[in-house]
Structure 1
């Protein structure tokens, strides 16, 4: 791999920025100062340092975000703030959200530059489970649970796959129910449409799990962190 590519990819820099650092003498390979941008390095065995700090090359990046409301799940938008805008500029290069959460939905969102992993997670053939918690306007009952378990015919005639619905708490005075729902597909506004089909309305919606990846509740709304090696390994095992 070319040294300028190594430095650019590992530090979220443009190739031009990486070349300037190399030519300025800020980069060494195996304790030898290198100023040739085309110099070939082995990402696994060579020790590359930038201004005295060892650079760890990672081909792909994986971030868990606790998505806030009023942010769209996109890489760019002319009028709205996107989830990628919440990532530090030095870490944004090539990142995209895996799937999407509605603008008013919060919770777990994976951002990566690993297209193969994203494709597997979103493939209908993989049946990756997504778990949400919601506040529903209406009283969810055992009958509702049974309807969801069989799959629902939406108002437009489209049919969903079976879903697991659990009642977490009921407020009879306000006629509200807190629920947890597990689905294995990702139709447009699916959960809102499912409850709409049984004459109920979703007031709050938060995703808490995707496959084996659970939202770290220590990650505040609008914040993110890298996946641990264990989280990534478990996520990959689920879909391979």
Structure 2
């Protein structure tokens, strides 16, 4: 790999910045000062200002999405999930895997690993996603059974069977707490599924995606890198 590409990716800077580093004789490979951006790097030790630079191809972050931000890389008028990243961690090639509505909270994977993102979103993979929904309206046994066996949405789309567990049920039908796991990703699917049984989702939080779970100690708006175990399980 060319040294200018290596440093631009590893340091998350532009090629112009790298060119200035090279010209200023700040870059060394195995102790040799390098000024040519075309210099090929294989397994040598690369240093900038005598600091060893380690190359990392892909990055993986688990983010606890708060309410009020949109799931996008950029938006002209609204704050996005990428605006939650510090300047040190932000990279232009990072993107959110999947989408949570502006008012939906919970687990969101941020990465620059395109193949993994495609795998997790592919309808053929049926990656499970678990949500905790605060629901208003009467939760009948027949309505819950329809969720569990698959139902027809108001636009005629058919859903796959979901796993549904009622954690708390309000006898006055003001706000019941329901855990629901789906294996597909239709637009506003969870909200539309409950609407199909005459209920309304008041709050929605994603707890899991595939093997990933939202850590109890990760507050809304915060993020952290995936652990080696989390990444291995996710890829496996």
Name the TM-score class by shorter chain. over 0.9
8 A contact 2:28–2:48 mirrored in 1: yes
For 1:56, the equivalent position in structure 2 comes to: 54
8 A contact 1:145–1:164 mirrored in 2: no
Distance 1:55 1:155 in 2: 55
8 A contact 1:139–1:176 mirrored in 2: no
* C-alpha spacing 1:17/1:170, structure 2 compared with 1 (3 Å): same
8 A contact 2:138–2:173 mirrored in 1: no
**What's the TM-score, normalizing by structure 2?**
0.94
| Gap runs ≥5 in structure 1 | none
8 A contact 1:66–1:109 mirrored in 2: yes
The residue matched to 2:192 in structure 1 has which SS?
helix
What does 1:1-240 correspond to in 2, within 5 Å? 1-42=1-42, 45-90=43-88, 91-173=90-172, 175-237=174-236
Decide which moves more: 88-97 or 63-72.
Answer: 88-97
8 A contact 2:139–2:173 mirrored in 1: no
Distance 1:173 1:194 in 2: 21
Count of equivalent residues? 235
8 A contact 1:135–1:176 mirrored in 2: yes
- Following TM superposition, by how much is the alpha carbon of 1:174 offset from its aligned partner in structure 2, in angstroms? 6.0
- Following TM superposition, by how much is the alpha carbon of 1:173 offset from its aligned partner in structure 2, in angstroms? 4.7
Distance 1:50 1:160 in 2: 54
The residue matched to 1:180 in structure 2 has which SS?
strand
* C-alpha spacing 1:117/1:132, structure 2 compared with 1 (3 Å): same
The one-character-per-residue Cα deviations of 1:159-179 (angstroms, maximum 9, x if unpaired) are 111111111122335632111
8 A contact 2:167–2:177 mirrored in 1: yes
- Large movers: runs of 4+ above 6 Å: none
- Following TM superposition, by how much is the alpha carbon of 1:209 offset from its aligned partner in structure 2, in angstroms? 0.7
Distance 2:141 2:28 in 1: 66
**What's the TM-score, normalizing by structure 1?**
0.92
8 A contact 2:138–2:198 mirrored in 1: no
Distance 1:154 1:231 in 2: 34
* C-alpha spacing 1:38/1:167, structure 2 compared with 1 (3 Å): same
- Following TM superposition, by how much is the alpha carbon of 1:26 offset from its aligned partner in structure 2, in angstroms? 2.1
Decide which moves more: 141-150 or 67-76.
Answer: 141-150
* C-alpha spacing 1:53/1:142, structure 2 compared with 1 (3 Å): farther
RMSD between aligned residues: 1.5
